[in-house]
């Protein structure tokens, strides 16, 4: 059975819809923009009359109007989950530290042919 790609357009930018995100049909770009805006609690302002065109070509010109359009499309602030811990912030374990100190001791050592065989 052949799978047919969705031809539904997302409401905020009228790009091809990637699915339902935060309660509304949206593209991946709007999904990420909405998530970042909610998590970081951005307070955008419109430099014009709060009536900017938000479409595929002009979606990055006014963040205030884009976020407002996300809310009008039905995206819910409550649906955005907290950010998970990042792997890079992991502290090295004591085992990692002892292994690295052992290897540094061995690195400067001169090996005989007998030991290498």
1 pLDDT above the threshold of 50: no
CATH class as words, domain 1-76: alpha beta
Is 80 exceeded by the pLDDT of residue 7? no
Q: Which residues have CB under 8 Å from 73's CB, separation 6+?
A: 10, 11, 12, 24, 25, 26
For 79-105, what is the mean pLDDT?
66
Spatial distance between the Cα atoms of 19 and 23, rounded to a whole number of angstroms = 10
Give the whole-angstrom CA distance, residue 117 versus residue 115: 6
**How confident is the model at residue 60, as a pLDDT?**
92
Tally of CB atoms within 10 A around 15: 16
Please compute the mean of the pLDDT values over residues 101-114 and round it to a whole number.
64
Q: Does residue 5 have a pLDDT over 50?
A: no
């Amino acid at each position: 059975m052949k799978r047919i790609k969705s031809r539904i357009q997302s409401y905020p930018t009228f790009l091809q819809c990637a699915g339902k995100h935060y309660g509304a049909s949206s593209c991946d770009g709007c999904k990420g923009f909405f998530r970042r805006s909610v998590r970081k609690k951005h307070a955008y302002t419109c430099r014009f009359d709060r009536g900017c065109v938000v479409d595929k070509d002009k979606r990055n010109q006014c963040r205030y109007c884009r976020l407002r359009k996300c809310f009008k499309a039905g995206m819910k602030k409550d649906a955005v989950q907290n950010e998970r811990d990042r792997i890079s912030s992991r502290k090295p374990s004591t085992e990692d530290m002892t292994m690295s100190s052992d290897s540094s001791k061995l690195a400067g050592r001169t090996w005989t042919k007998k030991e290498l065989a």
